[in-house]
Amino acid sequence: MLVSTEANSTAESGPPRHMGPMRLAFAYLRDRLRSPFASSMGIMTVAMAVSLLLQMLTYAIVARSMGPHEFGAFATVAALVAIVGSFSGWGAEQLILRRVGRAREELPQGMATSFVFLALSAPPLVLLSMALVPMVIDSSIAWQIVLFVAISDIALARVNKIAAACYQAVARPGGNARLNIGFATARVLAALLWVIAAPRHDAQSWSGYYLAVSVIAAALSLWRVRQDLEPVEWKIAWHEWRDGFQFSLQTLSMAAFGSTDKPVIALLSNLSTAGLYAAATRIAMAAAIPVRSMLYSAYVKFFQLGAQGPRSSAQLAVRLLPLGIGLGILGAGATALMAPLAPRILGHAYIGTDSALLLLAPVPIFYAVYCLGLDVLVSTGHAALRTLAQITMPPINILLCWLLVPAEGARGAALAALLTHASLAVIAWLMVGWLVRRQAQGSIASAGGAGRPSAG
């Protein structure tokens, strides 16, 4: 990993000092590319690229077959379910990553705790979705859509995420990749079967196929984990419910940050505008794949260094910042190139996604900046600060949507999202700076106290 231990080993066993500057630079790059961090990042970049490409293919098939109104209805339901489902699993993935990242032998107990927390939290959240979602969005949306999407995303998709986190915690990115690509492939096949076999192509009929394939994929994920990793040891760490609640709040705030705008846009404009914006945001976030793979590869190391305090974790974030920004710039360029092609791929009804995509192009850059800052917060035991930073974003986004969407439609929503992402990047690093300064002041105070002679 890109940490001091690797830097030291590279210095000791690296290329001879008499080599020329170009050869030294090449040798340094070669050593970095051979590191476990680079290997993990490479695997996850490919895996996330394939997975998100498959997700985009699924939504392209579904969106084109439904049209923007029906797709807007489905996307709005999914966005609200994602907010409600933030407490599904009670922070299970983060609990596994933190626990196993610091003590590898505790994976069996960590898996047991996570699956029990999921079993206890998912059913009431599905019922809450059934009660809450129809009150917030268009009453014409069938209750079956809400039920099927809620079961799929709150319970079944979370099974796959917990299983993938088990592989991530033990530094096996290949297992994580297999699960995520398999889940995405299953949904593409379900979408193709839906187009061929379904008598009608609307949100309600697709939600039935969406549920069926989620059941199959979740069962396969459980079977895969049982084959590859240690058997579950049913010792439940009930004391982790407090930290799990903090992690769930963190997930809720991020889900609200990423999903609140879609139902708000539907209320301020219409479901068609929400559908255009939803299609644009999915493409823009797909361009952040390299950034996400970098964050994935470094996440467990953040927890390991975070035990030493904010300064060590922040140093890792600062070292990764140039790489993250560079990957974000690549994503921004890809989004800009994709913009004029989007209406042709999605269909004539999606004219308008091109201008929204151009406005959303810089999002991967801001995503890299604020995620690195937020990872410093959560890895040093300040999950509440991360939650606070994220939870302030939806009100800002809603206010900007209220100002921009009625006049500009999907373009206004995209501009509101861009400004909100930029705001979070600034706030996250202000918080990191405050924590590092506080630790430094505490160290100075401790040193001063130790240097004073005792009264005796």
Task: Give the three-state DSSP class for 382.
Answer: coil
Please state the pTM of the whole predicted model: 0.68
Task: Give the three-state DSSP class for 233.
Answer: coil
Question: What's the number of CA atoms in the CB half-sphere (13 Å) around residue 30?
Answer: 9
For helices 68-84 and 143-150, angle between their N-to-C axes, nearest 10 degrees? 50
pLDDT by residue, tens only, the chain of 456 residues:
333 333 333 334 444 545 555 454 445 445 554 566 666 667 767 777 788 778 878 878 888 888 877 887 888 888 888 888 888 988 888 888 888 877 888 899 989 999 999 999 999 999 999 888 877 776 677 888 999 999 999 999 999 989 988 988 887 888 888 888 888 899 999 999 999 998 888 888 999 999 999 999 999 999 999 888 888 888 888 888 888 887 887 777 777 776 667 777 777 777 677 777 877 787 787 788 888 888 877 887 888 887 788 898 999 999 999 999 999 999 899 888 888 887 777 777 677 778 888 889 999 999 999 999 999 998 888 888 888 888 888 888 889 988 988 888 888 888 998 999 999 999 999 999 999 998 888 777 666 655 555 444
**Of 388, 2, 80, 384, residue with least CA distance to 255:** 80
- Give residue for tokens 């969407």: 405
Cβ contacts of 430 within 8 Å, gap of 6 or more: none
Q: Which amino acid is at 297?
A: S
Where exactly are the structural domains of the chain? 35-258, 260-443
Cα distance between residue 349 and residue 353, in whole Å: 10
Helices (H), 229-259: 241-259
